[in-house]
Every structure is written in C-alpha cells, then in structure tokens.
Amino acid sequence: MSTRRVVTGNNEAGRSCFVHDGPTAGHVDLGVAVVDELWIDDPANPDPAARVDPATVATIRLSPPVGGSVVRVLTFLPARAGVVKDFSHYDTGDAVDAQNPDMHTTRTIDYGIVLSGELDLELDEGAVHLTAGDVVVQRGTRHAWHNRGAVPCTVAFVMISSPNYR
C-alpha cells in the first residue's frame, strides 16, 4: 500500500502552506514487513516550519524520541516465518526480547489502526485476531505481530513516548 503524505507548515510570512506532498523518503523493506515512516516529532529538535523532513532517515528507530511521537504505516507481509533478519536499517534499541525476538516492548502508548488485511496480536497471556477497521491501544506491553494469512496486512501506527510504561 502506498501512503500519500501531506505535511503543512508556515512560510516566511507566517502563512500556512504545504511543505511535503507525496510518498515518504522513510521507506524500509525489512523482509517480513515494509515500513513507511511518515513523521517524527522530536521535542529536542523543533522545526515549526517543517523545512527539514524528519522522515528522511537512514535508520528507522522503533521508538519515538523521548517526549515525542512517530507516525508510520507498516505492511506485514503474508505467511512469513521468523523475525526481522536484517536490523541494519531498523534500530530497536532495548525493545526486543533476546530470547524471543518476535516479542518487543516499547516505552510508548500506541494506537494501531488496521487498514487492510488480517493480523494476530500476541501477548504473554493470549492472542487476538484483528481485521480491517479494528483499533489496538497498545500500552507498553510485551507483544508480537503475526500475519498468518495469505495477503498483506497494513496497519497505521501512532506511537507516543510515555514515561508511564515499562
């Protein structure tokens, strides 16, 4: 699924304008999923005019900056066994469980909206099957995502840094 990204800002005269319109530069194929990094809000590096595109990154960080947020779209590819094999373009920090690399925990509250396809969300105590239109509120819990179906599953995520979790 291709995601059109429209970003607004203010020009030199203080008038609202469009500063980005089109696909994101933050596109990474992880083998088991494709990530489209749409926006990163980093309070340590404010840019109200949005002149620098924060989604133009060489490495996608799993978690947003402290106090910030990230918006991304992930397309989980179908019936792929295993976990991400190549982390060279994906920084997971300390989120991934070394004993079970499918499982990870972030210091965030996440809102995941299933746009298309089907996906399973696994927790320590159970799993749930998700379909298009379902919304997950992921509150800093250990979890994994699995596409056991035959078609890709696309999910939009809003991840917000939160000291209340983990």
Over the stretch 72-87, which tens digit does the pLDDT of each residue have?
Answer: 999 999 875 445 545 5
Please report the pLDDT score of residue 101 as a whole number: 58
Domains of the chain: 25-161 (2.60.120.10)
pLDDT attached to residue 72: 93
Q: β-pairing, 60-61 with 90-91?
A: parallel
Task: Pull the structure tokens for residue 35.
Answer: 């990530």
Chain centroid offset of residue 45 CA: 20
| pLDDT confidence of residue 81 | 46
Instruction: Give buried/exposed letters for 55-94 (b at 16+ CB in 10 A, else e).
Output: bebeebebbbbeebbbbbbbbbbeeeeebeeeeebeeeee
Sites in the chain below the pLDDT cut of 50: 81-82, 85
pLDDT at 58: 65
If you ran DSSP here, which 8-state letter would residue 64 be given?
P
